[in-house]
Amino acid sequence: MHSGKRHDPVMSAEAVEGLRARAGGSFVDCTLGDGGHTAAILAASAPTGRVLALDADPEALNASEDRLAAFGRRVRMVRSNFARVACVAKTEGFAPAHGILFDLGLSSRQLDGAERGFSFQRPGPLDMRFGPDEERTAADLVNGLGEQELADLLWKYGEEPRSRRIARGIVAARPIADAARLADVVRRSAGYGRGRTHPATRTFQALRIAVNGELAALEAGLRGAADILADNGRLVTIAYHSLEDRMVKEFVRTDERLEAVNRKVIRPSAEEASRNRRSRSAKLRVAEKIHAR
């Protein structure tokens, strides 16, 4: 078991409202995590609403089992990449769905569990896979890619302006097997001052995205969600960095079946942002499936 604290669901009330969770509805939570949003949807859709909850990480299912046990047969948990959401929802009897949620990225539990190597503040093996199905770990990329490939990866998935310097520093320090050591190498080679964010933030984001093929999974997941949404069904997404948020925005803009419900992204309240650090970068979007014409 992880030692990390339970993940505090971000903008839970806003997500439930965006989904229009209600009795009799069928909902899909594509990112179960610690089950906070799933529990909130189940509570709001009592006594007959149902939730299918997916996660690529077997630990997420273990962690949520007890928390969700009280909801009995109203909840179904499946370990799956959300790229396959349409197929799983059809198999499990959740298509068409009235609302589908994506709360992207990683949970506090994953970040806090040093053995996964997600955190640049904790020593731990450089793994970063959400689930055991991914072929390559972060260590494979850090130690196996050429300097130019590494720089391109940091630029593309981390939007890291100092990608070349960092890639050069990493290659010179290889082999690197530990997350805290990588963070240290990045900090020294990037030459950033002591700002509010750790100099390795973008590097860690880039590696995580590459290891898990996150952008391709999101694209496939959004397409699958649009396929199985009922007419007037709602798609709610919570993104934590601009690559994801842009992808969602662009997908909704170009997919003829979807219409944005809120023009501007929804941000956490000042109260939530001060209570839950993780929520600070969150951007929530709501889209609706428009009636097939």
Ligand X SMILES: C[S@@+](CC[C@H](N)C(=O)[O-])C[C@H]1O[C@@H](n2cnc3c(N)ncnc32)[C@H](O)[C@@H]1O
Interface contacts to ligand X, rule CB under 6 A:
7, 9, 31, 33-37, 54-57, 60, 81-83, 103, 105-107, 130, 217
Residues 6+ apart with CB under 8 A from 72: none
135 Cβ neighbours under 8 A, 6+ residues apart: none
- Cβ proximity to ligand X, 4 vs 105, nearer residue: 105
Question: 260-281 burial, b if ≥16 CB within 10 A, otherwise e?
Answer: bbeeebbbbeeebbeebebbeb
Residue found by looking up tokens 């890619």 in the block: 145
Segment (H or E) for 236: strand 229-239
Using DSSP's 3-state secondary structure scheme, residue 30 falls into: coil
Q: What are phi and psi of 17, to 5 degrees?
A: -70, -45
166 vs 222, beta carbon nearer ligand X = 222
Q: State the minimum distance, in angstroms, from the CB of residue 50 to ligand X.
A: 17
Residue 130 CB, shortest distance to ligand X, in Å, is 4
Q: Which of residues 163 and 279 has its CB atom nearest to ligand X in the complex?
A: 279
Identify which of residues 56 and 170 has a Cβ nearer to ligand X in the complex: 56
Sheet strand arrangement including 97-103: 75-79, 50-55, 26-29, 97-103, 229-239, 283-289, 258-260
Nearest distance from residue 108's CB to ligand X, in Å?
Answer: 8
What is the nearest approach in angstroms of ligand X to the Cβ of residue 256? 25
E strands in 46-108 = 50-55, 75-79, 97-103
CA dist 257 and 231 (Å) reads 9
- Phi and psi based region of residue 33 (left: phi greater than 0; alpha: psi -120 to 50; beta: remaining): left
- Cβ-based nearer residue to ligand X, 107 or 163: 107
Q: Name the residue nearer to ligand X (CB basis): 177 or 215.
A: 215
Closest residue by beta carbon to ligand X: 33
Report residue 24 as tokens: 């009799």
CB closer to ligand X, 188 vs 275:
275
Could you tell me the smallest distance in angstroms from the CB atom of residue 292 to ligand X? 28
